[in-house]
Amino acid sequence: MRCRLCQQPAGWFRRSCPTCDRLAAIVEQHRGAGFGAILDRLMASGASRPQVEAFLTADPDGRGCARDRIAADMTNELMNALGQTGRQSAADVKRARERGQWVGYDQPPRT
């Protein structure tokens, strides 16, 4: 079977490959951290840049890619800090992104 995130061979009965599993665990561990900080951790995990990019932009179930989830977490942290109770999901971010309302907010920092 192929990894549903990066399309690399994943092994029998696996929906994702060990590398994507590792990247997903890093994202989960650092929920609410800034996108740049999470990207640094992902790059430090030993995965190649193309694999990190593939992981971040894959959206196998149509509910938003990892990058959208990170952006949603950042937004929710911010809203909590401001005393707001609304919650954004990755799907909300995906819709906003597709409507073109996001300008570079979720882009990796230039180096």
* Minimum distance from residue 6 beta carbon to Zn ion (Å): 3
Counting contacts by CB under 5 A, is residue 70 touching Zn ion?
no
| 62 class by beta-carbon count within 10 Å (0-12 exposed, 13-18 middle, 19+ buried) | exposed
Q: Which of 2, 5, 76, 80 binds Zn ion (CB under 5 A)?
A: 5
Cα–Cα dist 92/110, whole Å: 26
8-37 residues in contact with Zn ion (CB under 5 A) are: 17, 20
Cα–Cα dist 10/54, whole Å: 14
Residue whose C-alpha is closest to residue 24's, from 41, 36, 12: 41
* Minimum distance from residue 110 beta carbon to Zn ion (Å): 26
Counting contacts by CB under 5 A, is residue 3 touching Zn ion?
yes
Question: In this complex, which beta carbon is closest to Zn ion, that of residue 5 or of residue 90?
Answer: 5
Counting contacts by CB under 5 A, is residue 39 touching Zn ion?
no
Question: In this complex, which beta carbon is closest to Zn ion, that of residue 16 or of residue 75?
Answer: 16
Cα–Cα dist 72/51, whole Å: 22
Given the rule CB under 5 A, which residues bind Zn ion? Answer: 3, 5-6, 17, 20
